[in-house]
Amino acid sequence: MQNIVLFGPPGAGKGTQSAFLVDHFGFVHLSTGDIFRSNIKGDTELGRLAKTYMEKGQLVPDEVTIRMLEDSANAHQGAIGFIFDGFPRTTAQAEALDQFLEGKGQSILGMLALEVPEEELRTRLAKRAETSGRADDADPKVIQKRIDVYNEETAPVAKHYQSQGKYKGVQGVGSMEEIFGRLSAAIEGLS
């Protein structure tokens, strides 16, 4: 099992690069943001709850998010490995993920962190708003809130993996192909 965390701030390119990595390595992609959005679309109870946080740029509470992630992973029993995108976003989520995987005799092989300057993130998210249809991309105040939440609550998650010797920073600026090349080389270097 090759389980990878693809990490980085909003707009770092996690979704785009996940699609390439799935094609190339055969991972199952688990994006908590995508799962929340599909629940919002389906007007489920979980979707209605998540929406109240997402539209403000806040994190959905850990308990709800962790349960949803575990249910989604359990639904893919035969997976050769997962690429976790947008999860874990808090240290409590990282600890829960370790425990969950440990219960299955698995672990995280590495965290690959896309590094992108904040100014570039704002430009990318504003551009993505033109096509994503995402309310949280359209409002500069919500974008700023998401970046602040990332810096305060999510960036510390890197330390969790650094302390396990599993953290790899990857430059997230350049063409999509260049970034994919860097990520693939980093994955091949994991053992």
* Catalytic (active site) residue 134: yes
The helix (run of H) or strand (run of E) holding residue 86 is none
* Residue 87 binds ligand AMP, judged by CB under 6 A: yes
* Residue 97 binds ligand AMP, judged by CB under 6 A: no
**Stretch in the footprint of ligand AMP (CB under 6 A) among 81-89, 94-102, 155-163, 170-178:** 81-89
Helices and strands (DSSP H and E) totals, the chain: 10, 5
* Catalytic (active site) residue 182: no
Partnered with residue 4 across adjacent β-strands are 83, 110
* Residue 161 binds ligand AMP, judged by CB under 6 A: no
* Residue 54 binds ligand AMP, judged by CB under 6 A: yes
3-7 vs 108-115, strand pairing mode: parallel
Determine the Cα–Cα distance for residues 93 and 67; give it in Å rounded to an integer.
10
* Catalytic (active site) residue 89: yes
Q: Is the dihedral of CA 177, 94, 88, 163 positive or negative?
A: negative
Q: Say how many residues touch ligand AMP, by CB under 6 A.
A: 17
Q: Within 10 A of 107 (CB to CB), how many other CB atoms are there?
A: 13
* Residue 36 binds ligand AMP, judged by CB under 6 A: yes
* Catalytic (active site) residue 56: no
> Which residues are annotated as catalytic?
14, 89, 128, 134, 146
Binding site for ligand AMP (CB under 6 A): 10, 32-33, 36, 53-54, 57-60, 65, 86-87, 89, 93, 136, 146
